[in-house]
Amino acid sequence: MSKIKITEVALRDGSHAMSHQYTVEQVKTITKALNDASVPYIEVSHGDGLGGSSIQYGLSGTDELKLIEAAVEAADFSKIAVLLIPGIGTIEDLKNAHRIGADMVRVATHVTEADVSKQHLETAKELGMETVGFLMMSHMAPVDKLIEQAKLMESYGADTVYVVDSAGALLPDQVAERIKALRQALTVDIGFHAHNNLSLAMGNTLAAIKQGATRIDGSVRCLGAGAGNTQTEVLAAVLEKMGIETGIDFYKMMDIAENIIAPILPGTQEITKDSLTMGYAGVYSSFRLHAERAAKRYNLDSRDILIELGKQKIVGGQEDMIIDVAAELAKKNKITV
């Protein structure tokens, strides 16, 4: 089996759990440690990607360009990646990230909207960056639609196309079906990004690898949106037991998890009632904190908000709808705010 290349996402996906309050010193410390553990890629940006700092998505405590620059300075082995969601991040944001040293961009779209990634992927290729197409909420599209959208990203110049289980809603057989289909349809690398809302991140990741995915995301100490992602230090150990090469020193990864990440966690990364509900309802993992705040504001059960978001098929980028849904539920239930 081919070597698995892991991208560490705690400094991007984990930004959601940190309410986007990472400091320059934290990013430097974490990046240097991950670099020393030989992690090949480290993703750094606002949880919603370049340009994500806003009232709608959450204001960053520190300008993300300063965080990216700090990561670049701290790494001499690891490559620094950024996420960009068209409509949130711009071409100018991409150029600025490249200018300060970002090596790879992951252009993320809803699973049925790959066409909006064209100019961003093409610009990144012109800049000489490694390019990834990131098909979010992949559980929401049938396999034939997923293949169609993946082929678009491949045609725009993506070096890798990811199946992204943004809600942690996929089951192992569904992951296997999607990865196998893309492996047969594309010539580029295939990647997989999991969330642990149904406690299936590791199982789904192994199912993806078995079907030919060679680019895998992990988050140290499970630090990510919702119930977090596939836990990097655990994944490195499991793959080593399976005889699959990652190049990562999992002893060092365990030390990072225990000594650097654990002390800064705002809370334990576990499957709470809300993260479980997100996986069950197929709701974007970064909606958890937004739904919890809306529930307090409107005297609702946050699970009811999440279930309704799932029924309405609200997707990433529609965070403003969470308040609207909560207000409508409160009105329907005659709840006084």
5-264 has CATH 3.30.2290.10 classification: no
13 is in an annotated binding site: yes
Q: Any idea where the domains of the chain sit in the sequence?
A: 5-264, 286-332
195 is in an annotated binding site: yes
Q: What separation in angstroms does the CA of 76 have from each of 12, 80, 181, 216, 262?
A: 19, 10, 36, 21, 25
* Residue 120 pLDDT class (50, 70, 90 cuts): very high
* Residue 57 pLDDT class (50, 70, 90 cuts): confident
Share of the chain above pLDDT 90, in %: 85
Is the model's pLDDT at 90 over the cut of 80?
yes
* Residue 316 pLDDT class (50, 70, 90 cuts): confident
CB 131 within 8 A of CB 123: no
pLDDT of residue 198: 97
pLDDT of residue 336: 66
pLDDT digits (tens, 9 = 90+) for 213-252: 999 999 999 999 999 999 999 999 999 999 999 999 999 9
- Give the best-scoring range by mean pLDDT among 189-198, 278-287, 326-335: 189-198
pLDDT of residue 1: 58
pLDDT of residue 333: 78
Residues 224, 218: Cα–Cα separation, whole Å: 9
pLDDT of residue 213: 98
CATH number of the domain at 286-332, please? 1.10.8.60
Catalytic residue among 16, 120, 139, 290: 16
**46 catalytic residue (yes or no):** no
12 is in an annotated binding site: yes
Q: Which secondary-structure segment (H or E) carries 41?
A: strand 41-43
Is the model's pLDDT at 25 over the cut of 90?
yes
pLDDT of residue 337: 61
Q: Which long-range contacts (CB under 8 A, 24 or more apart) does 310-315 make?
A: 310/280, 310/281, 310/282, 310/283, 311/281, 313/140, 314/283, 314/284, 314/287, 315/110, 315/136, 315/137, 315/140, 315/284
Is the model's pLDDT at 108 over the cut of 70?
yes
In this prediction, residues 16-45 reach a mean pLDDT of 97
Exposed/middle/buried for residue 145 (C-beta within 10 Å: 0-12, 13-18, 19+): middle
In this prediction, residues 8-18 reach a mean pLDDT of 96
Q: What angle do CA 17, 47, 177 make, to 5 degrees?
A: 95
Is the model's pLDDT at 82 over the cut of 70?
yes
pLDDT of residue 60: 97
215 is in an annotated binding site: no
Residues 282, 53: Cα–Cα separation, whole Å: 25
Phi (first) and psi of residue 316, to 5 degrees: -55, 135
303 is in an annotated binding site: no
